[in-house]
Amino acid sequence: MANKTVLAFLAHPDDAEILCAGTLIRLADAGWDVHIATCTPGDAGTMTETRWSISSIRTKEADASVAQIGGTYHCLNEPDGFVAYDKPAIRKTVDLFRRVAPAVVFTHAEKDYMMDHEMCHLLARGASFVHGTPNVSLIPLAEGTMVPHLYYCDPVDMKDPYGNTPTPTTYVDITDQLSRKGDMLAAHESQREWLRAHHGMDEYIDAMKRHGAVRGKEIGVGAAEAFVQHLGHPYPENDLLKELFG
């Protein structure tokens, strides 16, 4: 492929590290230009800090995480807990897609445990379709702009709000990348205490590893990430991840 740019467009700092960082590592190692973008700076992800201080902390953590694989971090600065599929957010998302011009996009599942994730899903789906239309943005069209391969990550805990587990179309073996994925997630140090206080979780990285092990067992490997590919008109119908990684 002439265009080897991948964009993980998720709601909050650390979402990409939990859901698709192993695949991002494999793409980076294969020479791809990796971008992680979040709708929010995670300004509600704290029990102790102000929204301004935690935003600064979390965006620095996100930047340090993606820097481990030579990537770039972006943030739309939408308020945490209030992500909406509205005109201002659509505009920001389209402009980001114009600047990045991704050939592959990862985003949240259609149904997930919180609405920020579901709205982020809609923003990514909408922008991936329309960003290549010349009149939709003042940002110049980059060479290689295309309707990207679009993949939906697993929902958190591998279940939608109704308790259903999605059936993946695509698995990526991340057994050899699991340690580095853990290092990327560990860069988000601020979230350990927040999740323990709010979610009752004190096993941030272990939970990620268990998720990977469950999906890995389904294909007979140590750890895997699972995705559902968007196949609507006019999206590419070939499974690029499968072609790249088997």
238, part of any domain: no
- φ and ψ of 7, to 5 deg: -125, 120
14, part of any domain: yes
| Confidence band, pLDDT 50/70/90 cuts, at residue 205 | confident
Domain count for the chain: 1
| Confidence band, pLDDT 50/70/90 cuts, at residue 202 | low
237, part of any domain: no
CA 78, CA 40: separation in Å to the nearest integer?
A: 5
Kindly state the average pLDDT of the residues 100-128.
Answer: 98
Does 151 have pLDDT greater than 80? Answer: yes
Question: Cα dist. 222→107, 172, 228, 239 in Å?
Answer: 24, 11, 20, 22
- Quote the DSSP letter at residue 220: T
- First vs last C-alpha separation in the chain: 17
Question: Tokens in use for 216?
Answer: 């890995």
- The angle that helices 204-219 and 178-186 make with each other, rounded to 10 degrees, is 150
Question: pLDDT tens digits, residue range 162-171?
Answer: 999 999 999 9
CATH number, domain with residue 78 = 3.40.50.10320
Residues paired with 10 in a beta bridge: 38
To the nearest 10°, report the CA torsion of 181, 126, 117, 10: 30
Question: What is the reported pLDDT for 201?
Answer: 64
244, part of any domain: no
Question: pLDDT tens digits, residue range 184-199?
Answer: 999 998 887 777 777 6
DSSP letter string, 142-204: PTT--PPEEEEEPPGGG--TTSPPP--SEEEE-GGGHHHHHHHHHT-TTHHHHHHHHT----H
Q: Where in the sequence is the domain holding 13, given as residue range(s)?
A: 5-231
Question: What is the reported pLDDT for 84?
Answer: 98
Question: pLDDT tens digits, residue range 17-71?
Answer: 999 999 999 999 999 999 999 999 999 988 889 999 999 999 999 999 999 999 9
128, part of any domain: yes
Q: Which residues contact 185 (CB under 8 A, 6 or more apart)?
A: 14, 17, 18, 21, 65, 204, 205, 208
| Confidence band, pLDDT 50/70/90 cuts, at residue 206 | confident
Question: What is the reported pLDDT for 101?
Answer: 98
Q: What is the mean pLDDT of the chain?
A: 95
39, part of any domain: yes
Burial label for 224, CB within 10 Å (0-12, 13-18, 19+), is buried
Question: What is the reported pLDDT for 45?
Answer: 86
Kindly state the average pLDDT of the residues 105-126.
Answer: 98
Q: Which residue has the tokens 């109704």?
A: 162
Question: What is the reported pLDDT for 46?
Answer: 84
242, part of any domain: no
CA 153, CA 138: separation in Å to the nearest integer?
A: 30
| Confidence band, pLDDT 50/70/90 cuts, at residue 200 | confident
CA 70, CA 89: separation in Å to the nearest integer?
A: 27
Pick the closest to residue 11 from 113, 158, 160 (CA basis). 113
139, part of any domain: yes
Q: Are 154 and 211 in contact (CB under 8 A)?
A: yes
Residues paired with 152 in a beta bridge: 107, 228
Q: State percent of the chain over pLDDT 90.
A: 88
Kindly state the average pLDDT of the residues 234-242.
Answer: 97
